[in-house]
Amino acid sequence: VLRESGVNTKLKNRYIIKNENYFENIDSEFKAYILGFIFADGFVGEHNDFCISLSDKVNDNLRILKMFQNELKIDDLIYHSIDKDGNGKYTFKFSNEKIVRDLNKNGVYTCKSLTLEHVPNIRKNLMNHFIRGYFDGDGSICSWYDKYDNRQRYCMEILGTKKFLLQIQEILCSECHIKETKLHDVNHTQGLTRISHRGIKNLIKIREYLYKNSTVFLTYKHNRFYNIQPL
């Protein structure tokens, strides 16, 4: 009867989420940050189910999931699993109509990876936390030694849909006073593009914007950014 009525019977709903109005109003650093992280790595289904799975190779992933769980005031629903190839992950999943509905209002939909179009309508002073959360989920920063001129080079990249990244770029260019850069298609992944910024001066400006008034972030990406020293 439940299945015929469209109720998801696969999830075990033996829990109570005390703070199910959490995403009704994005009014804190962590809310903006975790929303960005969900934009990148989260999933919402057609039966009000939510799931986010993160690799256990990144120490901060479990800490961030526990922070999110504590914010929702819910019992421990974080599971650890290892696949046949030996790769481990932490998974946080639940089913809640109110939370999923509010995530939908903020722009998180089923199959969002190839359909994201807009950044959420949140306060300007929280936008850097949202972008940092998305960057921690779907961004990277790397460096290499250029033998041509014996200098260390750096590059920051973010993956996403073209419409979504164009808005991210507009915000970064406006807030960091840097020039626009071209978007490039991601090889073998139709519908995804990437935005990349190079140059020590530009990356330091982006760094200062992303981490302004920040208390939550992936440590290894933060450290890579702060290893960049001005010339």
Residue with tokens 């080079």: 153
> What are the distances in angstroms from CA 123 to CA 22, 27, 126, 176, 183?
16, 8, 5, 17, 26
Amino acid identity for residue 37 in this structure:
F
Q: Tokens representing 93?
A: 């999943």
Residue with tokens 């208390």: 215
| Confidence (pLDDT) at 163 | 92
**Cβ 164 vs Cβ 112: under 8 Å:** no
CA distance 4 to 2: 5
CA distance 154 to 228: 8
CA distance 94 to 12: 8
| Confidence (pLDDT) at 192 | 85
Q: Tokens representing 60?
A: 């901060």
pLDDT tens per residue across all 231 residues of the chain:
777 777 666 655 567 899 999 999 999 999 999 999 999 999 998 889 999 999 999 989 999 999 999 999 998 889 999 999 999 999 999 999 999 999 999 999 887 766 788 899 999 999 999 999 999 999 999 988 777 777 788 999 999 999 999 999 999 999 999 999 989 887 766 678 999 999 999 999 999 999 999 999 999 999 999 999 886
Q: Where are the beta strands (DSSP E) in the chain?
A: 42-44, 49-55, 78-82, 88-95, 139-146, 151-160, 183-185, 193-198
| Confidence (pLDDT) at 120 | 94
Spatial CB neighbours of 210, under 8 Å, sequence gap ≥ 6: 128, 131, 132, 135, 225
Among 185, 44, 113, residue whose Cα is nearest residue 52: 44
| Confidence (pLDDT) at 36 | 97
| Confidence (pLDDT) at 146 | 77
Among 178, 196, 197, residue whose Cα is nearest residue 186: 196
**Cβ 51 vs Cβ 133: under 8 Å:** no
pTM for the model stands at: 0.89
| Confidence (pLDDT) at 8 | 64
**Cβ 103 vs Cβ 38: under 8 Å:** yes
CB atoms within 10 A of CB 26: 20
| Confidence (pLDDT) at 21 | 96
